[in-house]
Amino acid sequence: MKPFAVKILSAASLMMAAGSVMATDMPELAQKSSCTSCHAIDKKLVGPAWMDIARKYKGDAGAEAKLIAKVAKGGGGAWGAMPMPPNSPRVSDADIKTLVRFILGLAK
């Protein structure tokens, strides 16, 4: 029974380490892309908290495509009067997709 418990703890440690890598990589990408000027993970700044965005779109099959378009092209009205500026082409499409997937993953 002991080896089984060790395997479970090892697997849990690996998952936590993988999550830590993702968590530390994503803020770097967000900072590089200037997302953190207006957004934080857990609190509203100029724009909504990423956790609030994740909760709003949880279970929405079209959320990823909607948010990629919103981040790329900008827009307003969904979270208040302050519009989100367009981020494409300054931020690559691949980076926008990565950031949106990270944000939506916060609701899991």
| Predicted local distance difference test score (pLDDT) of residue 8 | 47
Token pair recorded at residue 50:
């990423």
pTM above 0.75, yes or no: no
How high is the mean pLDDT of the chain? 81
Token pair recorded at residue 82:
């302050």
Q: How does pLDDT run across 42-58, given as a tens digit for each residue?
A: 999 999 999 999 999 99
Q: How does pLDDT run across 81-91, given as a tens digit for each residue?
A: 889 999 999 99
| Predicted local distance difference test score (pLDDT) of residue 108 | 75
Domains and CATH numbers, the chain: 2-105 (1.10.760.10)
Which three-class secondary structure state does DSSP give residue 84? strand
Considering only residues 24 and 40, tell me which one the structure prediction assigns the higher pLDDT.
Answer: 40
